[in-house]
Amino acid sequence: MTQTPLWLRDIESRSAGKQVLLVEGSKDVTLLGYFLTYHAPGWELRFVIEPAGGKQHVVSGVCVHRQDWIGVIDLDEWNPDDLERALARSPRLLRLPRFCIESYFCHPTEIWAALPSTQRTRVGNDPQVLAKPIMEALPDWVAHGAMWRVLRKLYHTARLPAQLERAPITDEVQIRTILQTWHDQLSPDLVLEQYHAELDAAKNLTQDEQLIAYVHGKKFYNQVVVQILDRLFGGKGADDWLQRLRDGNLHPSQDLTILLDQILHLTS
């Protein structure tokens, strides 16, 4: 019988018998909770949202330890193949439709709709004042997304050779063969070939698709969106804008609404 880990026992204690929605971190708790409240006020009477402390904990929590709970994971850190394998383990394990929760604070049209009229007036009620610099930054971040996917795959396939860690190998010919295979996987030419293939795939997407699913939302939000919002409207950084946009009633997009309805169905 699998022993229940301490982090999960702590959540069981805090939940006081309520249904649990496991998410990766505290930011996911805050932002997903906001969108749930916007979409379905009173949800907290039925279930609680708890941070598991990482994607793997969400997966093991729902698929191994508490199969009556629900989990939501996003794409960052894992490549799409690893993600699909995880999702296949349980129908109660769900995927955020965008790259990460911060991706819902990156689309200029959605941001513009949540800005108060006083701030829109400051830039002549012209949404392009916000959209243009955000979208001008997109190509570089699509390239970053392509490299990110390649590096995520390499992280799992080309990490230090497991064969040399599992058990003693003293045959130096065999050791050299293992190390050569590992070295070949890290070849700059091979990495660049994979990068170009990923970049070509990304370029076949629309700009909206790139921004929603391909760009690393957390990094893009912090390094691009927040800087532009601060410059245009005098904000105070990433957390300030997350709060301002929630105060401005940033509503759940259609793709997120579908996920929220899945969560509500599974907790009914």
Question: Which residues, other chains included, contact 135 with Cβ-Cβ below 8 Å and sequence gap of 6+?
Answer: 108, 207
Same domain, 76 and 26: yes
User: Residue 1: inside a domain, yes or no?
Assistant: no
R_g of the chain, CA atoms, integer Å: 22
User: pLDDT at position 266, please?
Assistant: 95
The verdict on 179 and 79 lying in the same domain is: no
Q: How many domains does the chain divide into? A: 2
The structure tokens listed for 268 are 């009914």
Q: Which domain holds residue 24?
A: 6-103+254-266
- Structure token pair of residue 232: 């245009």
CA distance 50 to 119: 35
Closest CA to 228 of 146, 138, 95: 138
Are 43 and 169 part of one and the same domain? no
Domain co-membership, 50 together with 124: no
Per-residue pLDDT of 97-138, as tens digits, reads 999 999 999 999 999 999 989 999 999 999 999 999 999 999
Question: In which residue are the tokens 């064969």 written?
Answer: 163
Tell me: do 118 and 233 sit in the same domain: yes
Q: Is the pLDDT of residue 254 over 80?
A: yes
* Whether residue 121 is found in the same domain as residue 199: yes
How far is residue 58 from each of residues 89, 91, 113, measured CA to CA in Å? 12, 13, 33
**Mean pLDDT, residues 230-257:** 93
Residues 122 and 224 occupy one common structural domain: yes
Band (pLDDT 50/70/90 cuts) for residue 8 is very high
How far apart are the C-alpha atoms of 150 and 189, rounded to whole Å?
Answer: 13
Q: Are residues 162 and 54 part of one domain?
A: no
Please state the rounded mean pLDDT for residues 21-49: 96
Q: Which of 14, 16, 31, 115 is nearest to 72 (CA)?
A: 31
Q: What average pLDDT does the structure give for the chain?
A: 91
User: How far apart, in Å, do the first and last CA atoms of the chain sit?
Assistant: 29
Please tell me which residue, 183 or 229, carries the higher pLDDT value: 229
The CATH number for 259's domain is 3.40.50
Q: What is the pTM of this model?
A: 0.87
